[in-house]
Structure 1
Amino acid sequence: MNIESIDLNLLVAFDAMMQERNVTRAGQRVGLSQPSMSHALTRLRQLCGDPLFVRVKSGMEPTPFALRIGPSVRAGLAVLQAGLEEAVAFDPARSERTFQILLSDLGEVVYLPRLMRHLKQVAPGIGLRILQLPRERYREALESGDADLAVGFLPGLAAGFYQQRLFSDYHVCLVRADHPRIGATLNLQQFTEESHIMIEPAGSRYSRAALHCSTTTLIEQYLEKLGLRRHIALRVPHFTIVPDILAATELLVVIPSTVARLMMPLRHVKTLPLPFEAPEFEVKQFWHERSHQDDGTRWLRGVFADLFMERRMPVPAPQSLQGQVSVVAVS
């Protein structure tokens, strides 16, 4: 195969198919219609002399040949992308770059309003794509370059990634403002006897040894340690519907205090301290080594630090890896 005969766009389409295993989704990923994506695959098959992808019940499965060349194609595209980005000095005021950030919907509530107001003032051409993936896929997304940054309570990313602490948080309980049995305080008996909503993000279902756990998992593990049980009447994957459910029912929900404070203007809910001492947790931003020196993602990390870090501390040079920024070697 003569590399000079290959259109680079065909390799981009191939890489998208390797990630999505679906023609329509792969086309959307690279901005091609379904017919254009199919045409690109046909050209690649002719050039490679291989079917590359075959249809199976779950979608499109790569052939052994495609699996062999896939990692090299992805690595080559990443090197090319990095080279192009480094060749042009990053200017946030003029850039039209789109950054991809891994956030939970709780994170969306906390960060996006303030972040978007800030970007409108200092970087109006910058775009954000917010990704919500199962937590066990965060590592893959950061390593592959599909995500530039992940922000949240993410103990599953403790090894092998740069990380910067933003702030500490703790849990509180939200209930309907006129709850018939709960007034200005919440005692332990009420907490265990009332029914609860659990926010259970994709990929973070509670288990005793959950590596990719959420803040909800943290609370469940702590309650188990105390020998306490609560009745979970409803499990939902997203937070956005919870305020309406609280207003219409007598259910309780345990959420981070940062989110609760943002909900304080809502008159139909009230915030109460938990009737036990729950552990605090740290919210951090995480990024992969591949983007550590990139001017654009470095700027984005600085924006998050400026807007949301509890204490402004100098970021050390990569060689020292001390203080607020650290990277842990993969064991």
Structure 2
Amino acid sequence: MGFDRVLGNLDLNLLVTLDALLRERNVTRAAEQLGSSQPAVSAALARLRRHFGDELLHRAGNRYELTPLAVQLAVRTAPALAGVRRVFDTSSQFDPSTVEREFTVVVSDYAAAVLGPVAARLMSERAPGARLRLQQTTPHAVDHADETLRATDGLVLPHGFLADIPHTDLYEDRWVCVVATDSPAASADLTLGQLADLAWVALYHRPTAFAPALQQLRMLGVEPRVEIVVDNFLPMPFLVAGTDRVALMQERLARRVADAAGIRVMACPFEAVPVAEAFWWHPMYRADPAHVWLRELFAEAGRTLDPDAGVSGTLMTGIGG
């Protein structure tokens, strides 16, 4: 059956009902969420079962469970709904002061902590009816960037991971080393020899997911002795504090948490390539007025960041020192 014929036989409202049924796993609760009647949702479930040739929900004792096909569908319905909503949110005119919609941007915890507050403030001032959703990034989201960008409004990620995807440059930062304030390594400038000897807290530590500066260190012949692997940047300073471990972090974030975590921010003993953060977006949004506005807002947020906290500032060898 052709794609157009499939769409012609379906009501897009069924997608909304399918999403509710797969999340609630109960006709009554799905009806309540949708503001519909139970008979109407039951009828929609019957249509969905005929379409997929599958029960989707089957009774197990006093509750319903998803069939294997329904488990697959549950992963796809939310992104599909988001895509449909973005299609119908598109307009030749865009007035941020009156818009009521949600913008979803995929970010690391680092970008959420550093850029997020500025972007949120600008959006609150200029589009009070809009909502900003900062969705945590993952290696899968980056490895499947085209799929990610079809289901969201953008991805904040440094250069070096993606190619042939439109982007808007935001700001620069630099890599620093962090050690505990009472670590012997904090008493003087770090050396490459120390980085080879110290235990490391590393991000991801996978072939396709790594901090670029850590990969650069390997290219200099220093193989970090990784003791702890984390999926986010924010835990790193607290896993370094009170130990002889070391970690690589972005300077803006490291300085923000240094006092609370009990760490010292140290200059890297090698020329680490700066972090060049960018807002990546799908080509289908190129001329979308709402998306153009969003990209410009994030670019302004990047320019608004304190210039003394990034690559243009003078790095201190220690907080308070």
> How would you bin the TM-score normalised by the shorter chain?
0.7 to 0.9
Q: CA deviation at 1:271?
A: 0.7
Give 2:148's aligned residue.
141
Change (3 A) 1:115 1:10: same
Indicate if the aligned counterparts of 1:13 and 1:40 stay in contact, CA closer than 8 A: no
Indicate if the aligned counterparts of 2:14 and 2:44 stay in contact, CA closer than 8 A: yes
- 2:288 pairs with 1:294: yes
Gaps (5+ residues) in structure 2?
A: 59-64, 306-321
Out of 230, 241, 246, the residue aligned to residue 247 of structure 1 is 241
Out of 204, 222, 226, the residue aligned to residue 232 of structure 1 is 226
Q: CA deviation at 1:264?
A: 4.7
Q: CA deviation at 1:310?
A: 8.5
Q: Which amino acid aligns with 1:155?
A: G
Deviations for 1:228-282, whole angstroms, at most 9, x for unmatched residues?
1221111111222223223232321101223223335547221101112222342
Deviations for 1:163-209, whole angstroms, at most 9, x for unmatched residues?
12223332110111222343142122222111111122xxxx432xx
Please list, as runs of the form range in 1=range in 2, the aligned pairs for 1:201-220 lying within 5 A after superposition: 205-207=205-207, 210=208, 213-214=209-210, 216=211, 218-220=212-214
- 2:92 pairs with 1:93: no
Q: Which moved more, 1:126-135 or 1:259-268?
A: 259-268
- 2:55 pairs with 1:48: no
Change (3 A) 1:250 1:42: same
Indicate if the aligned counterparts of 2:14 and 2:48 stay in contact, CA closer than 8 A: no
Residues of 1 paired with 2:237 and 2:273: CA distance?
24
Give the secondary-structure state (helix, strand or coil) at the position aligned to 1:86: coil
Residues of 2 paired with 1:101 and 1:191: CA distance?
35
Indicate if the aligned counterparts of 2:218 and 2:224 stay in contact, CA closer than 8 A: no
Indicate if the aligned counterparts of 2:171 and 2:276 stay in contact, CA closer than 8 A: yes
Residues of 2 paired with 1:8 and 1:116: CA distance?
32
Please list, as runs of the form range in 1=range in 2, the aligned pairs for 1:113-192 lying within 5 A after superposition: 113-132=117-136, 133=138, 134=140, 135-143=142-150, 146-153=151-158, 155-159=160-164, 161-192=165-196
Give 2:22's aligned residue.
23
Change (3 A) 1:110 1:59: farther
Change (3 A) 1:80 1:104: closer
Q: Which amino acid aligns with 1:107?
A: A
TM-score (norm 1): 0.70
Residues of 1 paired with 2:262 and 2:70: CA distance?
52
Q: Which moved more, 1:42-51 or 1:271-280?
A: 42-51
Residues of 2 paired with 1:100 and 1:190: CA distance?
42
TM-score (norm 2): 0.72
Residues of 2 paired with 1:255 and 1:40: CA distance?
54
Q: Which amino acid aligns with 1:297?
A: H
Q: Which amino acid aligns with 1:127?
A: R
Gaps (5+ residues) in structure 1?
A: 312-331
Indicate if the aligned counterparts of 2:200 and 2:225 stay in contact, CA closer than 8 A: yes
Give 1:269's aligned residue.
263
Residues of 2 paired with 1:191 and 1:86: CA distance?
53
Residues of 2 paired with 1:40 and 1:265: CA distance?
59
Change (3 A) 1:295 1:192: same
Residues of 1 paired with 2:6 and 2:268: CA distance?
66
Residues of 1 paired with 2:254 and 2:300: CA distance?
22
Residues of 1 paired with 2:25 and 2:280: CA distance?
26
Residues of 1 paired with 2:99 and 2:25: CA distance?
26
In percent, how many aligned pairs have the same letter? 23
Q: Which moved more, 1:262-271 or 1:46-55?
A: 46-55
Give 1:108's aligned residue.
112
Change (3 A) 1:80 1:277: closer
Indicate if the aligned counterparts of 2:107 and 2:155 stay in contact, CA closer than 8 A: yes
Q: Which amino acid aligns with 1:97?
A: R
Residues of 2 paired with 1:243 and 1:49: CA distance?
49
Change (3 A) 1:84 1:115: closer
Q: CA deviation at 1:2?
A: 10
Q: CA deviation at 1:9?
A: 1.4
Give me the CA root mean square deviation.
4.1
Give 1:304's aligned residue.
298
Q: Which moved more, 1:184-193 or 1:259-268?
A: 259-268
Indicate if the aligned counterparts of 2:179 and 2:185 stay in contact, CA closer than 8 A: no
